[in-house]
Structure 1
Amino acid sequence: MSRSRKVTLRAHPHGPTPGWAEVDTPPPAPDSTAAAFFDVDNTMMQGASIYWFARGLAARNYFTTGDLIRFAWQQLRFRVLATERSGDMSQAREVALAFIEGWRVEDVQRLAEEIFDELMAPRIWAGTRRIAQRHLDAGERVWLVSAAPVEIGRVIAARLGLTGAMGTVAEVVDGSYTGRLVGDLMHGPAKAEAIIQLAAVEGLDLSRCTAYSDSANDLPMLSTVGRGVAINPDAVLLREARQRGWEVRDFRSGRRAVKIAVPSTAAAGLVAGAVTAGLALHRRRQRVS
């Protein structure tokens, strides 16, 4: 069906020409079958969201520097083993959300909002944010897809005006977290599966969708949609992107890129371990007092 155009007749600014036609072409109709999916850590945000969340908790005395050091090596060792044995995620499932066991949902929501405003908002990549906004301006839905707890993803999405977020889901009973997962960790192939399920529910055409990530771990997600884009890519993803002809965008530069990369790997793992242990200690101290 053809679209009408508004034609306005105005006096010509340079002479007595009877008139000239200015054609106001309407914006394209929103594409309800297209969407964009963004990884969070090092794609939408500098560093890892769980790292900054942990930093905010530490500032609120939920755990100490001693707790951080004590549990750092154990968490790092686990992450190395998990990477080498990517098929075995049982231990990862057990510890992923243990740190919020017994917490009230509203308390975690409040903390996530406070810590986003304090520590995460200044670390949103401006370039990635502009890309997301272009999708929104085109009438497309924009989703975050992260292995972090979905509560953190929802706060980031809400603060940035995005459609929503998919993330690792914690079981809730009577308004409190049990520390167990609902479903799988939102990691690797699980991200692709979540996008496929969302597309079925929302009526999306995956061939018209776009996905963005910095990590080769997200190759399943990037390959699920019609257009994959590497943002601040690691070495493996950069190589894959070049081979597949994907667009590459890098908002890092020089020494800053090196510094920002740390929280997404070892430091994020260390702090995540300290969050789990530190909050457990905090709860025990509360019970004792």
Structure 2
Amino acid sequence: MSLAIFDLDNTLLDLDSDHAWGEFLIEQGAVDATTYRDANERFYQQYQDGTLDIMAYLALALKPLAENTPEQLAAWHQQFMASKIEPHILTRGEELLARHRAKGDRLLIITATNRFITGPIAERLGVDDLIAVEPEIEAGHYTGRVVGTPSFREGKVERLDAWLAEEDVTLDGAWFYSDSHNDLPLLERVDHPVAVDPDDALREAATQRGWRILSLRD
């Protein structure tokens, strides 16, 4: 049995769930349309450029969790799953998960998107193990703050190392599938790095290193 690790956004999904959640909140009237969209787009561009300040972004992204009740958030997320996520789950991504599952591999999603958004998505995909940004919860309500190290860039490696130690699992023979150059630190750690529909920077790096390049898009 080996560990098969998957990025989520633009890898198993053909969109970025974090960005899509921001757009969904705008549609619900939960945030100011102009200021939130401007900030959401700016941070998304910074992510693509490799210049994102993750803590600055999370200050924006986690604020609506703190400003709304758990009941309202749960209702919104149910709508979000149906309208924004389900149509964007890649069939070939599910087939890839199934192939690793059939081999007896342990499946893990690791994402820079927070657990509130991604927990139900991982469950929908049948993946029990998830490493995500952890929003702080006090007395049953989100605070808008983060617990621990965000699972972003080198933070993914730090969080994965802690998970491996806790689960008594190794990276021997491990796979990691990702679309983003932001995941180079983790791709460089595994025996089987795979660039999935990669951005330009990751495609160049994968080509230079002789890594497999895969498309899960139709």
TM-score bin, normalised by smaller chain:
0.7 to 0.9
Bigger mean CA offset, 37-46 vs 54-63: 54-63
Q: Is the 8 A contact 1:171 1:179 kept in 2?
A: yes
TM score, norm. by length of structure 2: 0.87
Which residue does 1:270 correspond to in 2?
Answer: none
Output one character per residue of 1:143-171: Cα deviation in whole Å (capped at 9) or x when no partner: 21111111222101111111232111111
Size of the alignment, in residue pairs? 217
Q: Which amino acid aligns with 1:240?
A: A
Of 178, 185, 193, which aligns to 1:220? 185
Change in CA separation of 1:56 and 1:232 when aligned onto 2, cut-off 3 Å: same
Structure 1 residue 227: deviation in Å? 1.0
Unaligned runs of 5+ in 2: none
* 2:18 match: 50
Q: Is 1:113–2:75 an aligned residue pair?
A: no
**Could you tell me which of 209, 215, 223 is aligned with 2:174?**
209
- Look up the match of 2:5: 37
Which amino acid is the alignment partner of residue 134 of structure 1? R
Q: TM-score normalized by structure 1?
A: 0.67
Q: Deviations over 1:80-125 (max 9, x none)?
A: 6675755x55433433412211434454344323311222111111
User: SS in structure 1 opposite 2:143?
Assistant: strand
Give the 5 Å matches for 1:94-105: 94-105=59-70
Contact 2:19 2:44 in 1 (8 A): no
Letter in 2 for 1:127: R
Cα distance between partner residues in 2 of 1:42 and 1:206 = 23
The letter for the 1-side match of 2:145 is R
Identity %: 29
* Gap change, CA 1:58 and 1:75, over 3 Å in 2: closer
Identify the match of residue 165 of structure 2 among 193, 200, 206: 200
Match status 1:122 vs 2:87: yes
Shift of 1:60: 3.4
Q: Is the 8 A contact 1:141 1:163 kept in 2?
A: no
Q: Of the two, which has the highest radius of gyration?
A: 1
**In structure 2, what is the equivalent of residue 172 of structure 1?**
137
Task: Tell me the CA shift for residue 45 of structure 1.
Answer: 0.5
Q: CA deviation at 1:237?
A: 0.6
| Pairing partner for 2:113 from 148, 161, 164 | 148
Kindly provide the amino acid, as one letter, of the partner of residue 196 in structure 1: D
Contact 2:90 2:217 (8 Å CA) reproduced: no
Question: Which residue of 2 is the match for residue 136 of structure 1?
Answer: 101
Residue 195 of structure 2 aligns to which amino acid in structure 1?
A: A
Residues 255-274 of structure 1 aligned to structure 2 (within 5 Å): none
